[in-house]
Amino acid sequence: MQSIFISGAGQGIGAAIARLFVQQGYKVGLYDINQSQVTSLAAELGSHAKAGLLDVTQPEQWQSALAEFVAWAGQLNILVNNAGILYSGSFEHTELSAHHRTIDINVKGVINGCYAAFPYLQQSNFARVINLSSASAIYGQADLASYATSKFAVRGFTESLDIEWQKYNIRVLDVMPLFVQTAMVQDMDAQSIKKMGVNLQPSDVAQQIYALVQKKDTVLMATHTPVGMKAKFLFNLSKFSPQFVNRLSNIWIAQKPK
């Protein structure tokens, strides 16, 4: 039986991924800084779910969590780096500590996870890493400066590691949704969410991740997968439009109504 380890699995996208993969017969690790949330969800999902504590900014917690999970599951096939945070509002009016915390969780957390998981992924007969990037990694979003920065970093890290780990037969991929209906986007202070709307559910992202895991033709599989029609449109537009057009489009998205 294949297994999947999910960071930030207590709610939102992480919880939706856990539900779907348990339904599909996987052994699922639900790990989160909020241990009570994942413990409750794992009890609901049954014997194929295991919960545990994980602060993704702490490398030693990654090591202990993965060792515990592999001892239970037998192997690690899929790592989903889902844990993330978002601060919105003007850059200069957001506390510097919030900007730093965004990088610590959204970037360093992904690096920590991949580093700690590599020995287990290398040993398994099927291995894949799915990182949660964002449509904010297509073009930097006003009032989401640190968040967009963190997701650009995840995008670049994913590309680099996908090439590096090819020799181990480990694909490293990311998904790039636009705004998803989770607690993270509630009360966001950014015009982009008002202009673009919230059209995705956590289950939409979970289904896309499951589809990526099921694909066997790894040679032709793209490293980045935008989720939802709007994210796909922006992703494709960025590839073919002149840079000034992309900039003007994002200025319009960021503009407040007069």
Burial class (CB within 10 angstroms; exposed 0-12, middle 13-18, buried 19+) of 111: middle
- Per-residue tokens: 84: 């993330």
In order of 1, 37, 130, the CA distances from 141 in angstroms are 41, 31, 23
Sheet hosting strand 127-132, strand order edge to edge: 49-53, 27-32, 3-7, 78-81, 127-132, 170-177, 224-227
Active site residues per annotation: 147, 151
- Residue 222: phi and psi, rounded to 5, are -70, 150
| Structural contact between residues 57 and 105, judged by C-beta atoms closer than 8 angstroms | yes
